[in-house]
Homo-oligomer: A and B are copies of this chain.
């Protein structure tokens, strides 16, 4: 009570309060509890409780040489795609009493690089990068370099949906899902399509686009119209508006490379007096929660996003173990047809 008012209590304080040495206090609170006399152990615990002691994680980290931290990089927390992944990572981390620190790489690659750098300073057990702009091991790819440094220093890296980098990756079957979606839409009677894509640097978008084209190929349908826009709800809205302005007599259905874009597009259509599902089919990708709450309910490709996050964690953790550890996993996707592609256009 006679020292400074603030600055949290240390192990020394607890030891003094309990009348034992720091070593004993340390052992009683963390090390193998077996080796300390139970009376002392409870004295220490009592002292800790009384003082409101909480071990300094940084001190433990440096003393032990390792942390219980998982670093997660996402592009945007507010995007349901990423928050679902984040939720999965969080849940899996919790099971192992790991702490997840989350960084948001809004847009700029520089920012992204800076983030991974900082993260590296945290000495996390694992770094998980979800949907960033890691594009290929091309020259000047400072990000990959940074991750390589981290891995060399004993860190574990897991990427989500960035299969072309030399790190364990949780992959999503974007291509296959989009291909099956194309098939399903053909089956529903649609023949003439527009595709709403994001810029090709965003690999997820590119894969879905390519998969969709692949599904169409050889079926004698015309080459789809392609409208490039942002990977966001606003992007989708804007693209649909452009489509309406241009005139869409030659388009029966629109495939947006993700659900938020598709939902934005549906709203744009409605705002322009075009009825989605009736006047034009709309399909998305991801099957986010709100896909069933829009009208008409959105046809989409379901992606187990939470599972992907959880899987990434497990993948990272399993790398400790003997060589047998698998180094990547692909999450399956499946088409969910709903009313937004229900009404088959008249021939």
Interface residue ranges, A against B (CB under 8 Å): 5-9, 52, 54-59, 61-62, 65, 67, 76-78, 80, 83-84, 86-87, 90-91, 94, 99-104, 106, 117-118, 120-123, 145-146, 149, 152-154, 233, 263-264, 266-267, 270, 289-290, 292-295, 306
Contact of A149 among B52, B62, B152, B267 (CB under 8 A): B52
Number of this chain's copies in the assembly equals 2
Contact indicator B67/A78 (Cβ below 8 Å): no
Asked if A56 contacts B123 (CB within 8 A), the reply is yes
The answer to whether A77 and B83 touch across the interface, beta carbons within 8 angstroms, is: yes
Known A80-B78, A121-B54, A289-B233; contact A99-B90, beta-carbon cutoff 8 A: no
A9 to B123, CA, bound (A): 12
Chain B residues contacting A123 (CB-CB under 8 Å) are 8, 56-58
Cα(A61)–Cα(B63), bound, Å = 13
Question: In the complex, A103 Cα to B94 Cα: how many Å?
Answer: 9
**Contact among B62, B146, B263 with A58 in the assembled complex (CB-CB below 8 Å):** B62
Residues of chain B within 8 A (CB-CB) of A270 are 295
Chain A to chain B contacts (Cβ below 8 Å), 21 pairs? A5-B152, A7-B153, A8-B149, A52-B149, A52-B152, A55-B121, A57-B58, A58-B122, A77-B83, A77-B90, A78-B80, A78-B86, A87-B104, A91-B106, A99-B101, A99-B122, A100-B101, A101-B101, A270-B295, A290-B293, A294-B294
Min CB distance A62 to B, Å, is 5
6 shortest A-B CB distances, which residue pairs? Answer: A8-B153, A52-B149, A6-B154, A295-B295, A58-B58, A101-B101
Nearest residue (CB) in B for A6 is B154
Q: Which residues of chain B come closer than 8 Å to A5, judged between CB atoms?
A: 152
